[in-house]
Structure 1
Amino acid sequence: MRYLLDTNVLSELRRTDPDRGVQRWYESTSDASMHLSVMTVGEFRKGLARLRRKDPERAAALALWLDHLLVPYESRVLPITPEIANVWGELNDPTPLPIIDAFIAATAIVHDMVLVTRNVKDFQRTGARLLNPFG
Protein backbone atom coordinates (compact mmCIF):
# COMPACT_ATOMS: atom_id res chain seq x y z
CA MET A 1 0.00 0.00 0.00
CA ARG A 2 1.18 3.53 -0.80
CA TYR A 3 0.28 6.66 1.11
CA LEU A 4 0.05 10.37 0.32
CA LEU A 5 0.63 12.45 3.45
CA ASP A 6 -1.46 15.57 3.95
CA THR A 7 0.14 18.69 5.39
CA ASN A 8 -1.48 18.23 8.80
CA VAL A 9 0.16 14.82 9.28
CA LEU A 10 3.65 16.24 8.70
CA SER A 11 2.87 19.22 10.90
CA GLU A 12 1.81 16.88 13.68
CA LEU A 13 5.05 14.92 13.46
CA ARG A 14 7.02 18.10 14.05
CA ARG A 15 5.28 18.77 17.36
CA THR A 16 7.13 18.14 20.62
CA ASP A 17 4.37 15.79 21.74
CA PRO A 18 2.72 14.47 18.56
CA ASP A 19 -0.56 12.61 18.58
CA ARG A 20 0.19 9.01 19.57
CA GLY A 21 -1.93 7.56 16.77
CA VAL A 22 -0.02 9.54 14.16
CA GLN A 23 3.33 8.66 15.73
CA ARG A 24 2.44 4.96 15.91
CA TRP A 25 1.20 4.89 12.30
CA TYR A 26 4.24 6.75 10.98
CA GLU A 27 6.74 4.53 12.82
CA SER A 28 5.02 1.34 11.65
CA THR A 29 4.81 2.38 8.00
CA SER A 30 7.61 1.86 5.49
CA ASP A 31 9.31 5.10 4.47
CA ALA A 32 9.25 3.98 0.84
CA SER A 33 5.45 3.78 0.90
CA MET A 34 4.99 7.42 2.00
CA HIS A 35 4.77 10.21 -0.57
CA LEU A 36 4.11 13.94 -0.66
CA SER A 37 2.31 16.14 -3.13
CA VAL A 38 4.18 19.13 -4.47
CA MET A 39 1.15 21.06 -3.19
CA THR A 40 1.98 20.02 0.39
CA VAL A 41 5.51 21.33 -0.06
CA GLY A 42 4.00 24.57 -1.36
CA GLU A 43 1.69 24.84 1.66
CA PHE A 44 4.68 24.58 3.98
CA ARG A 45 6.66 27.16 1.99
CA LYS A 46 3.69 29.55 2.07
CA GLY A 47 3.44 29.14 5.84
CA LEU A 48 7.17 29.78 6.16
CA ALA A 49 6.93 32.98 4.15
CA ARG A 50 4.16 34.25 6.43
CA LEU A 51 5.99 33.21 9.58
CA ARG A 52 9.23 34.84 8.42
CA ARG A 53 7.56 38.27 8.60
CA LYS A 54 6.38 37.70 12.18
CA ASP A 55 9.04 35.46 13.72
CA PRO A 56 12.21 35.09 11.60
CA GLU A 57 13.96 32.83 14.13
CA ARG A 58 11.11 30.35 14.31
CA ALA A 59 10.75 30.48 10.52
CA ALA A 60 14.45 29.67 10.10
CA ALA A 61 14.13 26.66 12.42
CA LEU A 62 11.05 25.45 10.55
CA ALA A 63 12.77 25.94 7.18
CA LEU A 64 15.70 23.85 8.37
CA TRP A 65 13.30 21.12 9.53
CA LEU A 66 11.47 21.17 6.19
CA ASP A 67 14.67 21.06 4.15
CA HIS A 68 15.89 18.13 6.25
CA LEU A 69 12.52 16.37 5.93
CA LEU A 70 12.44 16.72 2.16
CA VAL A 71 15.80 15.02 1.58
CA PRO A 72 14.52 11.44 1.97
CA TYR A 73 11.29 12.34 0.15
CA GLU A 74 13.11 13.85 -2.83
CA SER A 75 12.12 11.04 -5.20
CA ARG A 76 8.69 10.75 -3.60
CA VAL A 77 7.36 14.29 -4.07
CA LEU A 78 4.69 13.94 -6.73
CA PRO A 79 4.18 16.71 -9.30
CA ILE A 80 0.92 17.90 -10.81
CA THR A 81 0.59 16.12 -14.14
CA PRO A 82 -2.00 16.59 -16.91
CA GLU A 83 -3.82 13.48 -15.65
CA ILE A 84 -3.97 14.90 -12.11
CA ALA A 85 -5.20 18.22 -13.52
CA ASN A 86 -7.97 16.38 -15.38
CA VAL A 87 -9.10 14.59 -12.22
CA TRP A 88 -8.86 17.88 -10.30
CA GLY A 89 -11.25 19.44 -12.83
CA GLU A 90 -13.74 16.60 -12.41
CA LEU A 91 -13.58 16.84 -8.61
CA ASN A 92 -14.57 20.51 -8.79
CA ASP A 93 -17.84 19.92 -10.62
CA PRO A 94 -20.48 20.84 -9.65
CA THR A 95 -19.21 22.33 -6.38
CA PRO A 96 -15.62 23.60 -6.20
CA LEU A 97 -13.30 22.29 -3.50
CA PRO A 98 -10.43 24.24 -1.96
CA ILE A 99 -7.78 24.25 -4.69
CA ILE A 100 -4.95 22.63 -2.74
CA ASP A 101 -7.16 19.95 -1.17
CA ALA A 102 -8.56 19.04 -4.57
CA PHE A 103 -5.07 18.72 -6.09
CA ILE A 104 -3.93 16.55 -3.18
CA ALA A 105 -7.02 14.33 -3.53
CA ALA A 106 -6.57 14.10 -7.31
CA THR A 107 -2.94 13.08 -6.80
CA ALA A 108 -3.98 10.29 -4.40
CA ILE A 109 -6.64 9.08 -6.84
CA VAL A 110 -4.38 9.07 -9.91
CA HIS A 111 -1.57 7.27 -8.08
CA ASP A 112 -3.98 4.88 -6.31
CA MET A 113 -2.75 5.96 -2.89
CA VAL A 114 -4.41 6.27 0.48
CA LEU A 115 -4.59 9.91 1.55
CA VAL A 116 -3.48 10.21 5.18
CA THR A 117 -5.13 13.21 6.81
CA ARG A 118 -6.86 14.48 9.90
CA ASN A 119 -9.37 16.32 7.69
CA VAL A 120 -11.31 13.31 6.45
CA LYS A 121 -14.50 15.37 6.16
CA ASP A 122 -12.78 17.80 3.74
CA PHE A 123 -11.90 14.96 1.36
CA GLN A 124 -14.86 12.56 1.66
CA ARG A 125 -16.73 13.66 -1.43
CA THR A 126 -13.63 13.26 -3.63
CA GLY A 127 -13.77 9.46 -3.58
CA ALA A 128 -10.12 9.24 -2.52
CA ARG A 129 -9.29 6.44 -0.10
CA LEU A 130 -8.69 8.04 3.29
CA LEU A 131 -6.94 7.20 6.53
CA ASN A 132 -7.12 9.27 9.70
CA PRO A 133 -4.28 8.15 12.02
CA PHE A 134 -5.15 10.70 14.70
CA GLY A 135 -6.20 8.97 17.92
Structure 2
Amino acid sequence: MSFLIDTNVISEIRKGNRCDPGVATWWAEVAEDDLWLSALVLGEIRKGVELARRRDPQKAAALEAWLGEVVAGFADRVLPVDAAVAEEWGRMNAIRPVPVIDALLAATAKANGLTLVTRNEADVAGIGVEVLNPFGA
Protein backbone atom coordinates (compact mmCIF):
# COMPACT_ATOMS: atom_id res chain seq x y z
CA MET A 1 0.00 0.00 0.00
CA SER A 2 1.24 3.48 -0.85
CA PHE A 3 0.29 6.78 0.72
CA LEU A 4 -0.14 10.47 -0.14
CA ILE A 5 1.00 12.56 2.82
CA ASP A 6 -0.93 15.70 3.80
CA THR A 7 0.89 18.78 5.07
CA ASN A 8 -0.34 18.21 8.63
CA VAL A 9 1.37 14.79 8.71
CA ILE A 10 4.75 15.83 7.26
CA SER A 11 4.70 18.87 9.56
CA GLU A 12 4.03 16.61 12.54
CA ILE A 13 7.06 14.48 11.67
CA ARG A 14 9.19 17.63 11.74
CA LYS A 15 8.45 17.97 15.46
CA GLY A 16 10.83 15.11 16.27
CA ASN A 17 10.41 14.05 19.92
CA ARG A 18 7.24 16.16 20.22
CA CYS A 19 5.59 14.30 17.32
CA ASP A 20 2.25 12.61 17.97
CA PRO A 21 3.12 9.00 18.96
CA GLY A 22 0.61 7.53 16.51
CA VAL A 23 2.11 9.49 13.64
CA ALA A 24 5.68 8.62 14.68
CA THR A 25 4.87 4.91 14.92
CA TRP A 26 3.05 4.84 11.59
CA TRP A 27 5.84 6.78 9.83
CA ALA A 28 8.51 4.41 11.18
CA GLU A 29 6.61 1.37 9.89
CA VAL A 30 6.07 2.56 6.30
CA ALA A 31 8.67 2.04 3.58
CA GLU A 32 10.03 5.33 2.24
CA ASP A 33 9.19 4.33 -1.35
CA ASP A 34 5.51 4.05 -0.34
CA LEU A 35 5.32 7.71 0.74
CA TRP A 36 4.30 10.36 -1.80
CA LEU A 37 3.65 14.11 -1.70
CA SER A 38 1.49 16.38 -3.80
CA ALA A 39 3.14 19.48 -5.24
CA LEU A 40 0.41 21.31 -3.28
CA VAL A 41 2.01 20.19 0.01
CA LEU A 42 5.26 21.82 -1.08
CA GLY A 43 3.24 24.95 -1.85
CA GLU A 44 1.64 24.93 1.59
CA ILE A 45 5.06 24.59 3.24
CA ARG A 46 6.41 27.42 1.05
CA LYS A 47 3.49 29.59 2.16
CA GLY A 48 4.46 28.89 5.77
CA VAL A 49 8.06 29.90 5.05
CA GLU A 50 6.98 33.18 3.48
CA LEU A 51 4.53 34.01 6.27
CA ALA A 52 7.21 33.27 8.89
CA ARG A 53 9.71 35.45 7.01
CA ARG A 54 7.58 38.51 7.86
CA ARG A 55 7.57 37.91 11.62
CA ASP A 56 10.51 35.67 12.47
CA PRO A 57 13.43 35.42 10.05
CA GLN A 58 15.13 32.69 12.11
CA LYS A 59 12.03 30.51 12.03
CA ALA A 60 11.70 31.19 8.30
CA ALA A 61 15.30 30.10 7.74
CA ALA A 62 14.69 26.87 9.66
CA LEU A 63 11.50 26.19 7.69
CA GLU A 64 13.31 26.97 4.43
CA ALA A 65 16.04 24.46 5.30
CA TRP A 66 13.41 21.85 6.19
CA LEU A 67 11.56 22.49 2.94
CA GLY A 68 14.82 21.85 1.10
CA GLU A 69 15.17 18.53 2.92
CA VAL A 70 11.59 17.57 2.06
CA VAL A 71 12.08 18.45 -1.61
CA ALA A 72 15.33 16.45 -1.75
CA GLY A 73 13.86 13.52 0.17
CA PHE A 74 10.78 13.25 -2.04
CA ALA A 75 12.48 14.31 -5.29
CA ASP A 76 11.04 11.49 -7.38
CA ARG A 77 7.86 11.10 -5.33
CA VAL A 78 6.07 14.44 -5.84
CA LEU A 79 2.82 14.26 -7.79
CA PRO A 80 1.43 17.14 -9.87
CA VAL A 81 -2.13 18.29 -10.24
CA ASP A 82 -2.73 16.96 -13.74
CA ALA A 83 -5.79 16.27 -15.92
CA ALA A 84 -6.62 13.00 -14.13
CA VAL A 85 -6.51 14.76 -10.75
CA ALA A 86 -8.63 17.63 -12.05
CA GLU A 87 -11.29 15.23 -13.31
CA GLU A 88 -11.33 13.32 -10.03
CA TRP A 89 -11.60 16.64 -8.16
CA GLY A 90 -14.66 17.52 -10.25
CA ARG A 91 -16.30 14.19 -9.45
CA MET A 92 -15.59 14.58 -5.74
CA ASN A 93 -16.92 18.13 -5.57
CA ALA A 94 -20.12 17.01 -7.28
CA ILE A 95 -20.71 14.74 -4.27
CA ARG A 96 -20.29 17.64 -1.85
CA PRO A 97 -18.16 20.78 -1.62
CA VAL A 98 -14.78 20.21 0.05
CA PRO A 99 -12.08 22.81 0.84
CA VAL A 100 -10.05 23.17 -2.36
CA ILE A 101 -6.63 21.99 -1.17
CA ASP A 102 -8.12 19.08 0.79
CA ALA A 103 -10.20 18.05 -2.23
CA LEU A 104 -7.22 18.29 -4.60
CA LEU A 105 -5.13 16.16 -2.24
CA ALA A 106 -7.95 13.61 -2.06
CA ALA A 107 -8.27 13.66 -5.85
CA THR A 108 -4.51 13.21 -6.24
CA ALA A 109 -4.60 10.21 -3.92
CA LYS A 110 -7.54 8.63 -5.72
CA ALA A 111 -6.21 9.28 -9.24
CA ASN A 112 -2.90 7.66 -8.29
CA GLY A 113 -4.27 4.72 -6.29
CA LEU A 114 -2.95 6.03 -2.98
CA THR A 115 -4.39 6.28 0.52
CA LEU A 116 -4.56 9.87 1.79
CA VAL A 117 -2.86 10.24 5.18
CA THR A 118 -4.31 13.26 6.99
CA ARG A 119 -5.68 14.56 10.22
CA ASN A 120 -8.51 16.17 8.20
CA GLU A 121 -10.49 12.98 7.66
CA ALA A 122 -13.83 14.72 8.24
CA ASP A 123 -13.08 17.15 5.39
CA VAL A 124 -12.79 14.32 2.87
CA ALA A 125 -15.26 11.81 4.32
CA GLY A 126 -17.75 10.35 1.88
CA ILE A 127 -16.12 11.51 -1.36
CA GLY A 128 -14.62 8.18 -2.35
CA VAL A 129 -11.00 8.31 -1.24
CA GLU A 130 -9.24 5.91 1.13
CA VAL A 131 -8.16 7.85 4.23
CA LEU A 132 -5.84 7.03 7.12
CA ASN A 133 -5.58 9.24 10.21
CA PRO A 134 -2.52 8.18 12.23
CA PHE A 135 -3.00 10.89 14.88
CA GLY A 136 -3.69 9.45 18.30
CA ALA A 137 -3.51 5.91 16.94
Structure 1 length normalisation: TM-score? 0.95
For 1:10 and 1:120, locate their aligned partners in 2 and report how far apart those are by CA, in whole Å: 16
Residue 118 of structure 1 aligns with which residue?
119
- The verdict on how the C-alpha distance between 1:23 and 1:94 changes in structure 2, with shifts beyond 3 A counting, is closer
- Post-superposition shift, 1:69? 1.9
- Post-superposition shift, 1:113? 0.5
For 1:69 and 1:26, locate their aligned partners in 2 and report how far apart those are by CA, in whole Å: 14
Q: CA RMSD in A?
A: 1.1
What are the residue-to-residue correspondences of 1:1-135 with 2, within 5 Å?
A: 1-16=1-16, 17-93=18-94, 95-135=96-136
Q: Secondary structure at the match of 1:125?
A: coil
Amino acid at match of 1:34: L
Amino acid at match of 2:11: S
- Post-superposition shift, 1:99? 1.0
For 1:94 and 1:24, locate their aligned partners in 2 and report how far apart those are by CA, in whole Å: 33
Structure 2 length normalisation: TM-score? 0.94
- Post-superposition shift, 1:95? 3.6
- The verdict on how the C-alpha distance between 1:43 and 1:22 changes in structure 2, with shifts beyond 3 A counting, is same
For 1:99 and 1:110, locate their aligned partners in 2 and report how far apart those are by CA, in whole Å: 16
Runs of 4+ that moved beyond 2 A:
none
Query: Percent identity, aligned pairs only?
Result: 44
Aligned residues of 2:5 and 2:118 also touching (Cα < 8 A): yes
Q: Write the deviation string for residues 74-105 of structure 1: whole angstroms up to 9, x where unpaired.
A: 10000011011111112122542211111100
Q: Secondary structure at the match of 2:98?
A: coil
Aligned residues of 2:95 and 2:127 also touching (Cα < 8 A): no
